[in-house]
Structure 1
Amino acid sequence: MTGREAAHFWRNPALPGVDLLKARYVTHRFTRHVHESYAIGVILSGIEEFDYRGARHRAGRGNVVLVNPEHVHTGHAGEPEGWAYRMLYPSIEVMAGIAAEVAAPRGTPYFPEAVVSHPHATALLLAAHDAAEHGDDLTSSTLTRTAFAALLRHHAALRPADARSSRESQAVRRAREILHERLVTPPTLEDLAHAVQARPFALIRAFKAATGLPPHAYLNTLRVRRARGLLDSGVPPAQVATDVGFTDQSHLNRHFKRVVGVPPAAYQRARTYKTGAKNRT
Structure 2
Amino acid sequence: MDKNHSLVKSWVKRAAGETERIEACFSGLAYAPHSHDTYTLALTTLGVQSFNYRGELRHSLPGEVVILHPDETHDGQAGTDSPFAYRAITINPVDVQNVLQGASLPFLQGGVTRDPHFIRIATRLLAEFNRPLETLEQEDLIYAFASCLQRATSNSIKHTQANYFAMKQVREYIDDVITVASSTPIDITLDELAAISQYSKWQVARDFRSLYGTTPYRYVILKRLQKAKALIEHGLPLVQVACNSGFADQSHLTRHFKKCFGTTPKVWANLNQ
Q: Which residue in the other structure is 1:182 paired with? A: 177
- From 22, 25, 32, give the equivalent of 1:22: 25
Tell me: CA distance 1:91–1:71, structure 2 relative to 1, closer, same or farther (3 Å): closer
Q: CA deviation at 1:208?
A: 0.7
Distance 1:87 1:225 in 2: 21
Q: One-letter code of the match for 2:228?
A: A
Q: One-letter code of the match for 1:75?
A: H
Q: Which residue in the other structure is 1:106 paired with? A: none
The 5 Å alignment of 1:145-224 reads: 159=148, 160=150, 163=156, 168-183=163-178, 184-224=185-225
Q: Does 1:34 align with 2:74?
A: no
Q: CA deviation at 1:213?
A: 0.6
* TM-score, normalised by the number of residues in structure 1: 0.58
Q: CA deviation at 1:212?
A: 1.0
The 5 Å alignment of 1:49-88 reads: 49-51=52-54, 58-60=57-59, 62=61, 64-67=64-67, 71-76=70-75, 85-88=84-87
Query: 5+ residue gaps in structure 2?
Result: 92-105, 120-127, 131-140, 179-184
Distance 1:246 1:165 in 2: 36
SS class of match (2:232): helix
Query: 5+ residue gaps in structure 1?
Result: 93-109, 123-137, 142-151, 274-281
* TM-score, normalised by the number of residues in structure 2: 0.59
Distance 1:66 1:46 in 2: 9
Work out whether residues 57 and 114 of structure 1, in 8 Å CA contact, stay in contact via their aligned partners in 2.
Answer: no
- From 102, 113, 117, give the equivalent of 1:116: 113
Q: 1:101-148, CA deviations, whole angstroms, 9 ceiling, x for partnerless residues? A: xxxxxxxxx997731359xxx9xxxxxxxxxxxxxxx9x98xxxxxxx
Tell me: CA distance 1:238–1:201, structure 2 relative to 1, closer, same or farther (3 Å): same
Q: 1:150-171, CA deviations, whole angstroms, 9 ceiling, x for partnerless residues? A: xx9xxx8953489588565232
Q: Number of aligned pairs?
A: 217
Q: Which residue in the other structure is 2:263 paired with? A: 262
% identical aligned pairs: 21
